[in-house]
Amino acid sequence: MGLIHWKQAGMQQHLTEMMEAGKGGRAIALGIGAVVLAPILLPAIGKVAKPLAKATLKNGITLYEKGKVAVAEANEVWEDILAEAKAEALAESHKIPNAEPNHNHKG
């Protein structure tokens, strides 16, 4: 039995022992399995995940840009309303109320 085969057999034995040890051992064994399988699975996942990630980012950028436009338009409307309100308030403050009634009225 070669050294590599012996190490693999030992690793399998340790993994089996961890799996039998309970939940904690299973989690460790699954973690080790994930690390071992990652180089095999990641390229395959990457082929699917990359276009999905790009599409998600593209949609996010589009929504962000539309949101910026909507906020700018809402801000413009708000500023118009505010300017109109200020102008009306200023016009009303310059009006001089007629404090004395006109008694020269012949009726």
Q: 68 to each of 56, 77, 82, how far by Cα in Å? A: 18, 14, 21
pLDDT for the residue numbered 106: 56
pLDDT for the residue numbered 27: 72
pLDDT for the residue numbered 1: 45
Strand ranges (DSSP E) for 10-78?
Answer: none
The dihedral over CA atoms of 84, 88, 94, 95, expressed in degrees to the nearest 10, equals 160
Rounded distance between C-alpha atoms, residue 58 and residue 43, angstroms: 22
Residues 6+ apart with CB under 8 A from 1: 9
pTM of the model: 0.41
pLDDT for the residue numbered 22: 58
Could you tell me how many helices (H) and strands (E) the chain has, helices first? 2, 0
State which amino acid sits at residue 43: P
Query: DSSP string of 55-73?
Result: HHHHHHHHHHHHHHHHHHH
For the cut 70, the answer to whether the pLDDT of residue 4 exceeds it is no
pLDDT of 9-55, one tens digit each? 666 676 666 556 555 666 777 777 777 777 777 787 778 888 888 89
